[in-house]
Structure 1
């Protein structure tokens, strides 16, 4: 399931879902966390997008592991892809944390009995996780691009 899509390795295709959905979900999560108006209007769509980002990062990770096996490596012995694989795994964890934190933030905001300090802690945590998620997915993407393009001849001249 994760090896090929229409004869093309699935990993580069799934990666595009992760590198688009996670930063957009993180930006929307941060906006929802800091704005009461946006939280009321966009809370549910933001949670849904964070779920898509979580699925996208997991698909990218799983297809990357399949690509490692095709290259003669493994999840436990990724060789030159070790940094990329580690960051990809951390991206999945951060996407999961973002989904949970944002869901908690939106649910707490919907309850009138939520203590203000708890709601604030959830919002601050959501923003922190959103920032971390973007950093991790960009770093993972950079490491993957470096692996891909380091094999190319010098195109600069």
Structure 2
């Protein structure tokens, strides 16, 4: 099982998954609060973006290390028992990238005076808040589903 995603015989996937399992839901919850209370954005959108970025990087590491682990165990991520877990993991990466990108747009718009005027348009601000809400919910749900399916694989199907 020698690859860059293992330390000797220890696969790193079980370690990497903890970052997105914590950071993505925290970023999603921060985003939902900011979408409800946009006046807090100047103070909290950058921390939400940082947490979301960490979660997104963690999700990418978890995906790559999971693929390496599946290959090392001669399993296909497109067939049982990994298919659902891998699919939710792929969706979690996409949703967390989307969330991070939207938070970046909001952070830049809030902190760059030349773009700040975009947020004075009620329609644009509402559209951004709706997109952020949808992205946050998608990231939250997909990370929870990927984590649940991973736990089922470890604790139920291997038992």
Question: Contact 2:76 / 2:82 at 8 angstroms: preserved in 1?
Answer: no
- 1:148 deviates by 0.9
**Normalised TM-score (structure 1):** 0.87
1:1-157 correspondence to structure 2 within 5 Å:
2-5=4-7, 7-75=9-77, 77-110=78-111, 111-114=115-118, 115-151=121-157, 153=159
Change (3 A) 1:93 1:68: same
Aligned positions, number: 152
- 1:13 deviates by 0.3
Segments ≥4 residues shifted beyond 6 Å: none
CA RMSD, Structure 1 to Structure 2 (Å): 1.8
**Normalised TM-score (structure 2):** 0.86
Deviations 1:111-138 (A, max 9, x none): 3421221111011110111111111111
SS of 1:113 mapped into structure 2: helix
